Amino acid sequence: MARILLVEDDLTFSLILENFLKKQGYLVEVAHRVKDGLKLVKSNSFQLLLLDYRLPDGTGLELLQACQAEDTPPPVIMMTSFQDVGTAVRAMRLGAFDYITKPVNPDELLMVVQEALQEKVKPEATTSPKAAAFITGNSPIAQQLHDMITLVAPTDMSVLVQGESGTGKEYVARTIHEHSKRAQAPFIAIDCGAISGEIANSELFGHLKGAFTGAMQDKKGLFEAAQGGTLFLDEVGNLSYEIQMKLLRALQERVVQPLGSTASIPVDVRVIAATNDDLINSVKNGDFREDLYHRLNEFKLQAPALRTRGQDLFLFVDHFISQANAELDRHVQSLSPEVREIFRNYGWPGNLRELKNVVKRAVLLTPTEEIQKQALPEEMYQLATTPRPEGPDLKAMQEANERELILKTLQEVRYNKSKAARLLNIDRKTLYLKLQKYNLLE
Ligand SMILES: Nc1ncnc2c1ncn2[C@@H]1O[C@H](COP(=O)(O)OP(=O)(O)OP(=O)(O)O)[C@@H](O)[C@H]1O
């Protein structure tokens, strides 16, 4: 019976969740604050953590990070309000297994919990699904990306893939590998955001038995495991300075030295790295080695944000609907016209990952062939539907446009009101009044 730790400050809601999970056969411990959650994590072993994001004495991210420091961290599911989707996406970069938006739907919760418990514990190196499970897209920006991939793939250049979270950077790396001379050798992906210090060292370069407490036997590093193939370093900006040095050596001299060993092992590996933020800023701040940056950045690719991909959005929707139908045994065919409109107007700050989650949830909740707006997270359709005036009412039309523009901007900047006001070229107070007027306040 799996043990779950639930950290949620809303007492009624946590009681409902606790009872629901217990009925499903899980053992549940509950905490209402970060401090108590930390104590429980330290003194117990849990197979899963279910964390609210906003807690009275901090955020769920603190608990997530504390868990990531463990040898075998349990999977973590974050629960957030719709406005915090950006944060949830950040949590996934820090190693969370998944997120669900509130109000929590019991079927969805159960689905994610079951998936998390079946899933192997992160961090892990993955040989991710074949690129055939992916689609390219028809938008000019997607075609351009595809051309660049075709151009750089056959060379042995290191590639730096930049892009917002969830834009498919791993997909880009995988496609490069599959179009390269190395296609028959392994493609190994590792999320550097989810590993730290000694673990990163031993994951990447290996270790000898006894090199540190807990090193019970020799372990091959991922560089060796990827011999002849491609190593994908996601979130490369998170590597410590010490590991950056070792990585530079591996790239320049083509040798690695496992922890506790004096021997240098030759490696022939192409490295593709990915970053969310502008790595050049980390270089300027002294957090990332400049020499390594240039070594990784022999060729730079930009993974485009979903909101810049036009009609590709609906190609992805069809693709994710088919995937979800197969996984959940549903027969959904399409979106209702109203849902299409909501999707078109939404800013998708979490990009493809967010779209995939929203579609999967909607498919789960749709027993018929067409997804209706009720199957979307409530706040998504409440916020996204701007009523349009029927007749030639200019003032009403202007207001509808204004509401829509404010919404889009808010979504793009993940509800940061100061940033939104700046972009909209109005002051915060005016923005606030307009949010009130259009019923857009949280
Ligand atoms: N071209 C594609 N076709 C279909 N699905 C895709 C495509 N690109 C990405 N996805 C899906 O979108 C999700 C996010 O993709 P991926 O993990 O590659 O993004 P990422 O940019 O590496 O994210 P992060 O910055 O959080 O590491 C995954 O579930 C992936 O399967």
Q: Whose CA is nearest to atom 23 of ligand 1?
A: 166
**Could you please report the per-residue DSSP string of 324-358?**
HHHHHT----EE-HHHHHHHHH---TTHHHHHHHH
**Distance from residue 256's CA to the centre of ligand 1 (Å):** 30
Q: Whose CA is nearest to atom 5 of ligand 1?
A: 134
CB-ligand 1 contact for 134 (6 Å cutoff): yes
Cα-Cα end-to-end distance for the chain:
39
User: Which residue pairs from 313-320 have beta carbons closer than 8 angstroms and sit at least 24 positions apart in sequence?
Assistant: 313/343, 313/344, 313/348, 313/355, 314/340, 314/343, 315/135, 315/137, 315/138, 316/135, 316/137, 316/352, 316/355, 316/356, 317/343, 317/355, 317/359, 319/135, 320/355, 320/356, 320/359, 320/360
CB-ligand 1 contact for 360 (6 Å cutoff): no
CB-ligand 1 contact for 170 (6 Å cutoff): yes
From the CA of 136, give the closest atom in ligand 1: 1
CB-ligand 1 contact for 93 (6 Å cutoff): yes
Longest dimension (CA), the chain: 80
pLDDT values of the chain reduced to their tens digit, one per residue, 442 residues:
789 999 999 888 888 899 999 988 899 999 999 999 999 888 878 899 999 988 999 888 888 888 877 767 889 999 887 666 677 777 777 778 888 887 788 888 888 898 888 854 334 444 444 444 678 888 899 999 999 999 999 999 999 999 988 899 999 999 999 999 999 999 999 888 777 667 788 889 988 887 777 777 888 889 999 999 999 999 899 898 889 999 999 999 999 988 888 888 999 999 999 998 778 888 998 989 999 999 999 999 999 999 889 889 999 999 999 999 998 888 999 999 989 988 988 888 889 999 999 999 999 999 999 999 989 987 677 556 666 677 788 888 888 888 888 887 887 777 788 889 999 999 999 999 998 888 776 5
Q: Spell 58-80 as b/e; 16+ CB within 10 A means b.
A: ebbbbbbbbbbeeeebbbbbbbb
CB-ligand 1 contact for 238 (6 Å cutoff): no
3-state class of 276 per DSSP? coil
Where helices occur in 385-441 by DSSP H, the ranges are 394-412, 417-424, 428-437
3-state class of 306 per DSSP? helix
3-state class of 22 per DSSP? helix
Structure ipTM = 0.96
Q: Where are the domains of the chain?
A: 3-118, 131-302, 309-437
- Contact between 424 and 410 under an 8 Å Cβ cutoff? The reply is no
CB-ligand 1 contact for 205 (6 Å cutoff): no
Which stretch of DSSP H or E encloses residue 46?
A: none
* Distance in angstroms (rounded) separating the CA atoms of residues 121 and 84: 25
**Distance from residue 134's CA to the centre of ligand 1 (Å):** 9
Q: Whose CA is nearest to atom 4 of ligand 1?
A: 134
CB-ligand 1 contact for 319 (6 Å cutoff): yes
| Residue 276 pLDDT | 84
**CATH code reported for the domain at 3-118:** 3.40.50.2300
User: Which among 313, 353, 358 is the best mutation to test ligand 1's pocket, defined by most ligand atoms within 8 Å of the CB?
Assistant: 353
3-state class of 166 per DSSP? coil
Structure tokens at 234: 């996601």
* Distance in angstroms (rounded) separating the CA atoms of residues 370 and 80: 27
* Distance in angstroms (rounded) separating the CA atoms of residues 280 and 165: 17
**Distance from residue 160's CA to the centre of ligand 1 (Å):** 16
| Residue 74 pLDDT | 87
Burial of 402 (0-12, 13-18, 19+ CB in 10 A): middle
CB-ligand 1 contact for 169 (6 Å cutoff): yes
**Distance from residue 222's CA to the centre of ligand 1 (Å):** 22
Given the candidates 1.10.8.60, 3.40.50.150, 3.90.1170.50, 3.30.1360.120, the CATH classification of the domain at 309-437 is: 1.10.8.60
Domains 3-118 and 131-302 agree in fold:
yes
Task: Supply angle C-alpha 47, 128, 365, rounded to 5.
Answer: 65
Categorise residue 137: left if φ over 0, alpha if ψ from -120 to 50, beta otherwise: left
| Residue 122 pLDDT | 39
* Distance in angstroms (rounded) separating the CA atoms of residues 145 and 299: 12
Q: Whose CA is nearest to atom 13 of ligand 1?
A: 353
| Residue 128 pLDDT | 45
User: Which among 352, 354, 356, 360 is the best mutation to test ligand 1's pocket, defined by most ligand atoms within 8 Å of the CB?
Assistant: 352
* Distance in angstroms (rounded) separating the CA atoms of residues 247 and 269: 12
DSSP conformation class of 298: S
From the CA of 352, give the closest atom in ligand 1: 12
From the CA of 319, give the closest atom in ligand 1: 4
**Distance from residue 352's CA to the centre of ligand 1 (Å):** 6
From the CA of 355, give the closest atom in ligand 1: 12
Given the candidates 3.40.50.720, 3.40.50.300, 3.10.50.40, 3.30.930.10, the CATH classification of the domain at 131-302 is: 3.40.50.300
| Pairing of the two strands 48-52 and 76-80 | parallel
The single residue listed with the structure tokens 């699904």 is 129
